[in-house]
Amino acid sequence: MEAVCMVSFGRYTRPHFHLLLLVILPLGLHTVAGVWPLPQTFTSSIERYPLNPQAFYFGYGRQSAAQQGCSVLDSAFIRYFSLIFPDYTGNGVLRFFEDKPFHIEISVDHDNCESYPNEDSSERYNLSVSAGQASLNAETVWGVLRGLETFSQLVYQDDFGSYFVNKTEIDDFPRFQFRGILLDTSRHYLPVQDILKTLDAMAYSKFNVFHWHIVDDPSFPYQSQTFPDLSSKGAFHPMTHIYTQSDVRRVISHARMWGIRVLPEFDSPGHTKSWGKGQSDLLTPCYSGSTPSGAFGPVNPVLPSTYQFMARLFKEVSSVFPDSYIHLGGDEVDFSCWSSNPDIRAFMQKMGFGVDFTKLEAFYIENIVNITSALNKTVIVWQDVFDYHERIPKDTVLHIWKGTPASYMAELSRMTKAGMRVLLAAPWYINHISYGQDWRDYYNVKPLNFSGTEEQKKLVIGGEVCMWGEYVDATNLTPRLWPRASAAAERLWSDEKQTSSVSKAFPRLQDFRCKLVRRGIRAEPLYVGHCKHEYQGV
Amino acid sequence: MSAALKLALLLLALGFSQGRQHNYIDEFDEEPKAETERVVGASKYGSLWPLPQKVKVSDVSFKLSSGSFRISDAKGSSAGPGCMLLQNAYRRYYEYVFGSARRQELSKSRQTGPAVLPELQVWITSPDSECDGYPSVTSDESYELTVDLPYAVLKAPKVWGALHGLETFSQLVYEDEYGAKSINSTTISDFPRFAHRGILLDSSRHFLPIKVLLANLEAMAMNKINVFHWHIVDEPSFPYLSRTFPQLSQQGAFHSYTHVYTPADVKMVIEFGRLRGIRVVPEFDTPGHTHSWGKGQSDLLTPCYSGSKPTGTFGPVNPILNTTYDFMSQFFKEISTVFPDAYIHLGGDEVDFSCWKSNPDIQKFMVQQGFGQDYSKLESFYIQKLLDIVSTTKKGYMIWQEVFDNGVKLKPDTVVHVWIGRGVNDEMSKVTAAGYTTILSAPWYLDYISYGQDWQKYYKVEPLSFNGTEQQKKLVIGGEACLWGEYVDATNLTPRLWPRASAVAERLWSAADVTDVNDAYNRMALHRCRMVARGIPAEPLFTGYCPQEYKGI
């Protein structure tokens, strides 16, 4: 099969011959190429204004609830100054001596400068660019951050290096509230630097949730204050391959500065092999006949000590991670070990579960959900929990990860019909790679294209791009994530009707990926071509 | 009925195995269990990659002191301190072994425990070390390494073997649990199975900064790859700055200053390669794949016609004009002096005839020459003239397989490059039956990516599995992994190439019976961590970790 393909596609210009047409689409070099993700309403004219880095000012409007001293915005101004003027070194001569100054005036309705972004945070903003000034209005500082990102993408350089921005009016808000990226730090450890860099890149695509799949079977890098043995025995290395409390705090505060929530996942009862190394009696001993085999299975759901441990661990996790959501996993539980264990079988009997181990699983999850609910956290679980369990608390969010488009659409219908809120990840398993422009598949997803009422559709809170770690570590994470994840970002932020064409999106995305490269993000190319400033690392 | 049942079971299995974190395609490879449940164990060959021909490792270990360990020239060596190539290599490998930051003086209190190995002596045994020469397809790359007291000895007829031996020596060094550098008493006798072990990089579809090329030459040396096939120009851009025809890159590069290779750049790449025993074989592909050439050289490409009018677009090189051949003579004269290797790759693949067919002048020429409607004859006509031109420069040439398929008369020392996947075994038989040397790339198109451990596919290839006599098989001088540039640039090239190309490297270096995928996995996992520690962002094979993770971001 493959051999046949090779021949018919020729030595180099294989599957995407028709793409040559796309590539030729003229990308006006001296005009604004566009904003990614596309704002909801956007009008701009060819009237352009020069920007002089030495006469460019951020300021707070008089009416603004936030003023100087607002930590989120003050530091955003500093970051965005360098993003807007990437060439500026500060020691050049005054080239545009006669240029008028340019002011961006920021106005916020609420002073939420010291808070964390949450599920209800408004990200709406209004940006108006005219001669010598721009005004950026938002309800919250998070909206301002989104607006600053948009403004930074509006600024461009001509062939002489001068900066310009065109007259523009933008009114913008996200289509979905939850726009996440999952990183898996258990299958491979990701150094903190790489996580921080990913947060930066997420903000450039207006993602707002970092789903930190922090532990799993292979390793337990989270250093717990309460149970330090979990990482000292369960991490790949107890010193070099862990996240200390200060690492975690750094990630959370860095994310806050970009308006990004940090959603931790502590997946159980399956996917917990690494937990057992530092916490004895937590996992189920598997039996071979009447003797323990020495192997361990999922968390042992029949021991009270299990729930005492979980209560203490989640108490810690709840206070370390400020977000009001917590992800409890609950996927892919293998029943073979449970069914081999005589104590578990006795418990099943006692509880009247018969041989239905999904009931045991439901029993376990219910207990864990009660623990976290008592800690005032909203729970997210993988769809498996819904699939086998009827009595899920109504405010639980279900996370769809399985199946073909037809089957996840059906699942969306079922879940929302049951009145549950849903998060969609199935179409965006970005760790699965293939040859060619697979970003188009991520772009073409229609998250609300399932049968259901308007009310049902409102229950879809958003989507998530998942980068599982089997084949991904610090060496290849960034180019594998960007700009492929950016395709999903536009699907989750922008209006679907205005962004239905892959070929229209192509030049804008190509331009955006060069912006990412210019900002030091190792974003891979979409197709043949070049960026003015190529990536300078190895 | 049983078939239906089987199908149902298969579907059931499919449904179940759609693991959240596991790939559903991959699970059904030949060894689904091995894929996910492979026990990472230790190979008895440690982290050696590619595996040497003969290895004997004993349990006796020695310590290496970063303060006093020396790599030096043996007394009888024909290469002395004046051999810059070796002196540079000694320093490079010293730093790889000890890390550049950790040099410290030996403490006075002598530790008890294993003996200290104080020195590695490098002994070039043939009178001409070839220290100042360039590697070639006939270079002797063999070496013998003995690690024992009073000092280790690396014997090689030429410097090329010594370079490989130094890499092997560095791969034998490990850290004990206290971090002390150690090496076991070992004897190795080694030589490559194939003489041509190459990697093709494409700097036309995306420009690859010099830094990226050099880093990858460095990685090639770690894998005993000895040919950098530089597919330097193609349709999209012409980054080679020609002294004779500077307008080629001025007009044909993506950008005439930031996206070109100056003569100094090219020289640097060649010398960097030479110091690592790597040949640099440039490819200037014609008559197709030349769109970018036409921007800086008018009248070189064929004007395409629509009816009786030129469309304004251009096709392959125009084969009927004398000016074409004048241009090629001058151009390849330059190339033959800039690139010292004995071979130039002339391409010759994928020529599209539609533009030639549309052009009335070409039609007329076809009639004159009596070619009828057979445009492959015209192609052969062009190639024939080109080969004659290149022959006058005293260079040998490599060509893609179509040139052979079309029956062009080739010099006996021509290397035919087989790239088409379908019928690859027949092609290998045919090419070698005709008496030509050949290299294989068809199974190793690394630009094709897929989910999972595709390195195993590359590893399992047996280049000599085609039908043919012993004589024919000897004509297969090696192979090349190709990383075409449609989707690859500086941002993702290195992790996409390594360690997948390492699988090809072992296939081309090690003995034919080195085929144990499990053993390969265990060695390669360590080898890739070693590359990472040396600053090469080589991607992971599967879940796990390296003691030193990549720090580049």
Q: What pLDDT digit, counting tens, does each position of A336-357 carry?
A: 999 999 999 999 999 999 999 9
Active site residues of B: 350
Residue A272 has pLDDT above 90, yes or no: yes
Q: B418, exposed or middle or buried, with CB in 10 Å at 0-12, 13-18, 19+? A: buried
Tokens 């190394």 correspond to: A277
CB B237 within 8 A of CB B292: yes
Chain A positions in Cβ-Cβ contact with residue B538 (cut-off 8 Å): 475
The ipTM of this complex is 0.90
Rounded CA-CA distance A312/A225 in Å is 10
Rounded CA-CA distance B425/B466 in Å is 5
Residue A45 has pLDDT above 90, yes or no: yes
Helix (H) or strand (E) holding B254: none
Report helix, strand or coil for A73: helix
**What contacts B252, CB < 8 A, 6 or more positions away?**
B233, B237, B238, B292, B293, B294, B295, B296
Chain B positions in Cβ-Cβ contact with residue A188 (cut-off 8 Å): 540, 543-545
Tell me how crowded residue A499 is: count the other CB atoms within 10 A of its CB.
Answer: 18
pLDDT at B411: 86
**From the CA of A134, how many Å to the nearest CA of chain B?**
34
* Chain B stretch 430-449, residues whose beta carbon is closer than 8 A to a beta carbon of chain A: 442, 445, 447-449
CB contact under 8 A, A468 and B545: no
pLDDT at B504: 98
Out of B442, B495, B546, the one facing A476 most closely (by C-beta) is: B495
Q: β-pairing, A460-467 with B396-400?
A: unpaired
Rounded CA-CA distance A423/A461 in Å is 6
* Counts for chain B of helices (H) and strands (E), in that order: 19, 17
Chain B positions in Cβ-Cβ contact with residue A530 (cut-off 8 Å): 206-207, 237, 254-255, 259, 489
Rounded CA-CA distance A152/A78 in Å is 12
CB contact under 8 A, A523 and B205: no
pLDDT band at residue A391 using 50, 70 and 90 as cut-offs: confident
List B152's β-bridge partners, or say none: B120
List A464's β-bridge partners, or say none: A180
* Chain B stretch 63-92, residues whose beta carbon is closer than 8 A to a beta carbon of chain A: none
Catalytic residue among A332, A455, A470, A534: A332
**From the CA of B228, how many Å to the nearest CA of chain A?**
17
Substitution target from B20, B448, B541 for chain A, most A beta carbons within 10 A: B20
Rounded CA-CA distance A119/A324 in Å is 8
Residue of A nearest to B14 (CA): A403
* Chain B stretch 304-363, residues whose beta carbon is closer than 8 A to a beta carbon of chain A: 349-350
* Chain B stretch 362-421, residues whose beta carbon is closer than 8 A to a beta carbon of chain A: 400, 419-421
CB A211 within 8 A of CB A242: no
pLDDT at B19: 44
**From the CA of A51, how many Å to the nearest CA of chain B?**
25
pLDDT at B14: 36
Rounded CA-CA distance A371/A314 in Å is 8
Q: β-pairing, A41-51 with B181-190?
A: unpaired
Flag whether residue B275 sits within 8 Å of chain A, measured between CB atoms: no
Rounded CA-CA distance B340/B410 in Å is 22
Report helix, strand or coil for B162: helix
Q: Which amino acid is at B487?
A: Y
pLDDT at A27: 39
Which tokens is A340 given?
A: 């081999």
Helical H runs in A169-293? 192-204, 229-234, 245-257, 273-278
What is the model's pTM? 0.91
pLDDT string in tens for chain B (553-residue length):
344 444 333 333 333 333 444 333 333 333 333 333 344 578 999 999 999 999 999 999 999 999 999 999 999 999 989 999 999 999 999 999 998 545 544 444 455 678 999 999 999 999 999 999 999 999 999 999 999 999 999 999 999 999 999 999 999 999 988 889 999 999 999 999 999 999 999 999 999 999 999 999 999 999 999 999 999 999 999 999 999 999 999 999 999 999 999 999 999 999 999 999 999 999 999 999 999 999 999 999 999 999 999 999 999 999 999 999 999 999 999 999 999 999 999 999 999 999 999 999 999 999 999 999 999 999 999 999 999 999 999 999 999 999 999 888 888 889 999 999 999 999 999 999 999 999 999 999 999 999 999 999 999 999 999 999 999 999 999 999 999 999 999 999 999 999 999 999 999 999 999 999 999 999 999 999 999 999 999 999 999 999 999 998 6
CB contact under 8 A, A219 and B545: yes
CB B466 within 8 A of CB B184: no
Substitution target from A24, A530, A535 for chain B, most B beta carbons within 10 A: A530
CB A211 within 8 A of CB A219: no
Residue of A nearest to B494 (CA): A538
CB B516 within 8 A of CB B200: no
Mean pLDDT of chain A: 92
CB contact under 8 A, A528 and B236: yes
Rounded CA-CA distance B422/A1 in Å is 9
* Chain B stretch 451-480, residues whose beta carbon is closer than 8 A to a beta carbon of chain A: 451-452
pLDDT at A159: 87
CB contact under 8 A, B543 and A524: no
CB B525 within 8 A of CB B40: yes
